[in-house]
Amino acid sequence: MSSIYGDWLKEQREAAGLTQQHLADSAIMTRSHIAHIEAGRRIPSKEDARRLDRALNTGNVLSSFLPQEEVAVAGYFEAARLLEQQAVMIRESAVTFVPGILQTKKYAQAVLGTTFPPLSDEERDKRLVTRLERAKILADPVTPAFWALLDEGVLYRLVGGRHVMAEQLIHLVHLVESGRIRVHVMPRGTGAYPVMQGMLSLMWFEDQPPVAYSEGIRVAKIHDAPAIVDQLQGAYHLALSDALPLGESLALLKATAKDHGHDDA
């Protein structure tokens, strides 16, 4: 997200002689939420913006100029990346590719190779490094708690070839068996189900309202309006109720890795 909105908020707060905590108290928000908005890492909900306007006596400026229009993935994902670094719980669904945080290097290289127009070698390498850096949040043994809901088709799509797919699935197996993540597979026979329209990431925080991030072709959006986030959470959990249990999902990951040529799966 552009920091222009956050910079203006900070200017108005300081002009009013308020600390972040004073503004947070007046607007019924947390200080850290104010800090993230000012730094350009968060977009306030419409209700938050209205409360900020009232607290700062800025009319409806903050409400009217919320940066919530859909933009290209590249423009929005930096904000989503920063959010996932702060999250204490993440639940993702994927119908096409393994979620970025869970991708191996070779799998990620194959995914980035599908970009059109093609990326330069330098740009592809930069994006690869960024993607692999994201996975480091799983180095913490506890936070964030991470669940992935994968369409069964993700397991069979030969991204990078059989060897790459086998390696990717075994990587998921190791993460599940270590207890670091949960993976639930949506069987191909389920038919249509909620959240199958694209990628969805739900994020919860220690002292901030939850948000959702959705992604499609060339567009992505961060949702923090409480009603929308509630709807997306409900859709995710409704879909999850039709997915395979953890044990059956793990067995399917192993079996599919073996089908792709991994002898030890």
Return the higher-pLDDT residue of 38 and 253: 253
Q: In the prediction, which pLDDT does 17 show?
A: 94
Q: In the prediction, which pLDDT does 257 show?
A: 97
Number of residues written out for the chain: 265
Q: How far apart are the first and last CA of the chain?
A: 42
On the question of pLDDT at 180 being above 90, the answer is yes
Of the pLDDT bands very low, low, confident and very high (cuts 50, 70, 90), residue 6 is confident
Q: In the prediction, which pLDDT does 71 show?
A: 36
Q: In the prediction, which pLDDT does 67 show?
A: 67
Average pLDDT over residues 215-232: 88
On the question of pLDDT at 99 being above 70, the answer is yes
On the question of pLDDT at 75 being above 70, the answer is no
| Beta strand 181-186 pairing with 220-223 | unpaired
Contact (Cβ atoms closer than 8 angstroms) between residue 184 and residue 246? yes
Q: What is the pTM of this model?
A: 0.73
The pLDDT mean for the chain works out to 89
Return the higher-pLDDT residue of 66 and 156: 156
On the question of pLDDT at 147 being above 50, the answer is yes
> For residue 122, how many other CB atoms are within 10 A of its CB?
8
Of the pLDDT bands very low, low, confident and very high (cuts 50, 70, 90), residue 70 is very low
Q: What is the pLDDT of residues 35-53, one digit of tens each?
A: 888 887 777 878 888 999 9
Between CA 121 and CA 136 the distance in angstroms is 23
If residue 150 lies in a helix (H) or strand (E), which one and from where to where?
strand 145-151
Contact (Cβ atoms closer than 8 angstroms) between residue 225 and residue 45? yes
Between CA 165 and CA 256 the distance in angstroms is 9
On the question of pLDDT at 89 being above 70, the answer is yes
